[in-house]
Amino acid sequence: MGNTAPDDGLLALQAAVTRRRFLQRLAMTSAFGAASAALLANCSSDGDEGAPSTGAASTDGAGAATTSVEGSGTLEGFRVVGFSGGGTGKPLAELRIATQAPGAIVPGFAFDPGETVVRRLAWNSLVALDNEGNPVLADAESYTPNADLTEHVFTLRDGLQWSDGTPYDAQTYIDSLLYRLPLGGIFGPSWLVGMNDVLFNGADPSTLGYEAPDPKTLIFRSTAPVPFIERFLASNGDFFPIPMHLFADADSSEVLASMSDPANFVCNGPYVITENSPGSIVYERNPRFSSGGPAGVADRVVTTVFDAMRSSQSFNAFRSGELDVVTVGANDIPSVQADADLSARTTQIVWPNYNMVVVNHNREPLGDPRVRTALHLAIDRKVLAESVLSGSALPMEGLLSPGYEGYDPDFRAVDVADPAAEAQRLLAEAGFPGGEGFPELTYITQGDASFDLISQTLIGMWNDVLGITVKLQRLDPASWFSAVITPEDVAEWGDLADAPWPAAFRDPADTFPDLLYFGGVVYHHNWTMPDDLLARCEAALYEVDPVVRASALAEVNAAIMKELPIIPVTLLNDIQVRREGIAGQFAAYGSEFYGLRHVSAE
């Protein structure tokens, strides 16, 4: 894919889209939850505490990456997996889980944990994920790419219909995307022919490389080979169909409000909503489910609404027998570890939920790579992941996650025998021996308990190893976003800040562009990727041969980490416990919710 330097106006538009995409990510993290969902709405949490709310055939494309990371975990005695699923397929009459109040119950109108639960149970797209987290065809009965993976033809199944009996076809997919485009909720993908021109230059949406030449055929045209398109489509709500016979001639807000009544709810997934109250949403089988892919094992799914899915309140509800599966917050992990029975029924799900430190390269001495490297080396990630976070994280030295092509668990951004000693040497070489003369830095955190714990630990490590003082500045999510992501003075926003980044789907093509350079880097005011490195990065992401791709991604990751634009710290994983007689697991965010369809009797 070619790259040209954008003018200031285009960069501003790109940055605006990037900020909205970033807010979507934040809505999926443990740190932000509802607060970021509100920020996203204004732009057109799942924390450690929270109370119940009142108010077909597997494809043979290049998109299926191996996600298993058995044995790579840090929690002794907990089974470790790198995917959602793992059920036995045995019938299950009812599954009871925790959820959050969804911002919307139709794909593409919200992006939060509650909406994602609804999407995985009640909605289907061209592709889904199987019991091992790999792409399988759903609404599509076949996928045929051309030789260089720049044209992607999906043939739809016969007889597709909505839960009210209305048929839909390939044109419904096209109309659904075009309907949502002017609403400001579509942000890509950048590889789709014409998408950047539509988003940034006002081009007519009819120029998109997305067409339905007949009722059974959908064609995507990409500006480069896209080996990950199946995994992308399984996760991306923008390309899910919506019942256009309801939306076409109506105001979207009126349709969404009407569909909140189960009597008016229309979907195309394996479940329909039969009860919807402020405290609970109940799903039962869709008798008109006509798609392929996983149809769900449980006959009925009862979701109890909490302010936070991963909370002491949801854990207590599990222990009292009200839930069958629960994702455990860091505060409750010691209780699970102390209970041999619970530990035996606990799974650690490794997924790309990054915790990093963003560095203001515009402020001295942080512009000196020796200083950034010293900060990086002074962090004992093993202690942080295993002791401070009770084993609910994996140490991270780069931007490639387990399950990503090119990932190497032994990778070190700076490979030295004694990281602390090297950190001290580099700081002294930069002119600050023992921290002498080093200015006091600020570290901005959004105030969530888990991130506050991480930031305080990092501050202590920097002081112990380097002899420097870092002052913690706690902000609410809105203020954090304004200060770090959209500062009025890009050179003076501060020094350091925590940086959450959950991947929407398991592939570097999701992580690298959005994090580092989509629309100018997410933290575009801090660092700009050099042109030669950008070209190498894109070449690696759109490489078709998986062996070549893995090698190229590993090389790009190493090159990026030499610059240390962002300091990786840990991957925050899901710790999930299930009652006796239940099999399977699902990560509580993003595309991993497909695991819900596979949870079964043991």
**Quick one: 263 and 410 in the same domain?**
no
Could you tell me which residue, 204 or 29, shows the higher pLDDT?
A: 204
Could you tell me which residue, 229 or 510, shows the higher pLDDT?
A: 229
Residue 39 belongs to some domain of the structure: no
Q: What is the pTM of this model?
A: 0.83
Angle between helices 449-466 and 419-429 (to 10 degrees): 70
Three-state secondary structure string covering 332-389: HHHHHHCCHHHHHCEEEECCCEEEEEEECCCCCCCCCHHHHHHHHHCCCHHHHHHHHC
pLDDT for 589 equals: 61
**Quick one: 254 and 141 in the same domain?**
yes
Mean pLDDT, the chain, whole residue set: 83
pLDDT for 563 equals: 86
Given a contact cutoff of 8 angstroms between Cβ atoms, the answer to whether 385 and 391 are in contact is yes
pLDDT for 450 equals: 63
Q: What is the DSSP letter of 434?
A: G
Q: What is the mean pLDDT of residues 92-119?
A: 89
**Quick one: 238 and 287 in the same domain?**
yes
Domain with 327 in it: what CATH number?
3.40.190.10
**Lowest mean per-residue pLDDT among 82-91, 437-446, 508-517:** 508-517
Does 381 have pLDDT greater than 90? yes
Most confident option among 1-15, 465-479, 539-553: 539-553
pLDDT in tens, 277-314: 999 999 999 999 999 989 999 999 999 999 888 888 99
Q: How far apart are CA 366 and CA 150, in angstroms?
A: 41
pLDDT for 56 equals: 31
What are 325's strand-pairing partners? Answer: 578
**Quick one: 463 and 583 in the same domain?**
no
pLDDT for 590 equals: 56
**Quick one: 118 and 212 in the same domain?**
yes
pLDDT for 385 equals: 87
Q: What is the mean pLDDT of residues 520-549?
A: 80
**Quick one: 568 and 580 in the same domain?**
no
pLDDT in tens, 548-599: 999 999 999 999 999 888 899 998 888 899 999 999 988 766 556 678 899 9
Domain with 448 in it: what CATH number?
3.10.105.10
From residue 161, give the alpha-carbon distance in Å to each of 167, 261, 436, 486.
Answer: 4, 20, 70, 44
Confidence band of 449 (pLDDT split at 50, 70, 90)? low
Does 448 have pLDDT greater than 70? no
Q: How far apart are CA 402 and CA 330, in angstroms?
A: 21
pLDDT in tens, 89-101: 999 999 999 999 9
Q: What is the mean pLDDT of residues 468-490?
A: 81
Does 49 have pLDDT greater than 80? no
pLDDT for 59 equals: 32
Does 36 have pLDDT greater than 70? no
**Quick one: 444 and 516 in the same domain?**
yes
Residue 13 belongs to some domain of the structure: no
Q: What is the mean pLDDT of residues 374-397?
A: 90
pLDDT in tens, 310-347: 888 999 999 999 999 999 887 788 899 889 999 999 98
pLDDT for 437 equals: 97
**Quick one: 332 and 375 in the same domain?**
no
pLDDT for 76 equals: 52
Residue 492 belongs to some domain of the structure: yes
Residue 167's identity, in one-letter code, is P
Does 233 have pLDDT greater than 60? yes
Angle between helices 8-26 and 34-42 (to 10 degrees): 150
Could you tell me which residue, 580 or 16, shows the higher pLDDT?
A: 580
Put residue 494 in one of left, alpha, beta given phi > 0 → left and psi -120 to 50 → alpha: left
Reading across the β-sheet that carries 151-156, which strands appear in turn? 140-145, 151-156, 217-221, 210-214
The residues, any chain, with a CB within 8 Å of residue 149's CB and separated by 6 or more, are 62, 222, 225, 226, 227, 229, 544
Residue 16 belongs to some domain of the structure: no
In 3D space, the residue among 69, 67, 33, 16 whose CA is nearest the CA of residue 500 turns out to be 33
pLDDT in tens, 170-193: 999 999 999 998 887 677 788 999
Cis peptide bond prior to 189, omega within 30° of 0: yes
> Structural domain of residue 177, as residue ranges?
46-64+72-347+576-601
Residue 19 belongs to some domain of the structure: no
Q: How far apart are CA 498 and CA 356, in angstroms?
A: 6
The first and second tokens of residue 453, run together, are 């714990």
* Chain centre to alpha carbon of residue 547: 25
**Quick one: 217 and 330 in the same domain?**
yes
Q: How far apart are CA 43 and CA 256, in angstroms?
A: 19
Residue 358 belongs to some domain of the structure: yes
Q: How far apart are CA 484 and CA 493, in angstroms?
A: 6
**Quick one: 561 and 581 in the same domain?**
no
DSSP string, 442-497: EEEE---HHHHHHHHHHHHHHHHHH---EEEEE--HHHHHHHHTS-SSTTSS-SEE
Q: Beta strands 346-349 and 79-81: pairing type?
A: parallel
The first and second tokens of residue 581, run together, are 């007689």
The first and second tokens of residue 508, run together, are 């570097």
**Quick one: 369 and 289 in the same domain?**
no
From residue 394, give the alpha-carbon distance in Å to each of 181, 345, 578.
Answer: 38, 20, 22
**Lowest mean per-residue pLDDT among 32-41, 353-362, 467-476:** 32-41
Residue 478 belongs to some domain of the structure: yes
Given a contact cutoff of 8 angstroms between Cβ atoms, the answer to whether 325 and 70 are in contact is no
What are 217's strand-pairing partners? Answer: 155, 214
Does 408 have pLDDT greater than 90? yes
Give the count of domains, the chain.
2
The residues, any chain, with a CB within 8 Å of residue 496's CB and separated by 6 or more, are 357, 358, 359, 360, 366, 375, 441, 442, 443, 444, 470
**Quick one: 410 and 503 in the same domain?**
yes
Residue 511 belongs to some domain of the structure: yes
Confidence band of 52 (pLDDT split at 50, 70, 90)? very low
